[in-house]
Amino acid sequence: MDGYREKILKVCNTSSKNTLMETLNIEYIDVGENFLVAKMPVNTKVHQPDGVLHGGAMVALAESVGSMASYIFLDAQKFYVRGIEISANHVKSVRDGEVFAKALVVHKGRTTQLWDIKITDADNNLVSICKLTTIALPKK
């Protein structure tokens, strides 16, 4: 991985300190021209009572990776990024291991951004499909 990508991932991971992302052990692991990838461990901290990954944890992972992608692809000195809508379809249960969320930009407008986020397990099986809309708000 080149130095620029490493720098971006370091910024992403450092900004997660003392946040929900740290609580869920979300780590940003890959970035490219139009995508960002994060991983999250699946363990009892993110299970629902019957021992599978909680859908809310998957949505938190999806919103985290999509919002961070908006943040790094916009001028963070000039804008705040906020999620304004998210939807998720969960298609597979996961009990342990790790899940990976890849946010791909669908639309990158001046004000709103649309992200397609696919969550997969370690064997690349689809676990959830999410759509996130973010908004860039000017800093005052």
3-state SS track over the chain? CCHHHHHHHHHHHHHCCCCHHHHCCCEEEEECCCEEEEEEEECHHHECCCCCECHHHHHHHHHHHHHHHHHHHCCCCCEEEEEEEEEEEECCCCCCEEEEEEEEEEEECCCEEEEEEEEEECCCCEEEEEEEEEEEEECC
Active site residues: 63
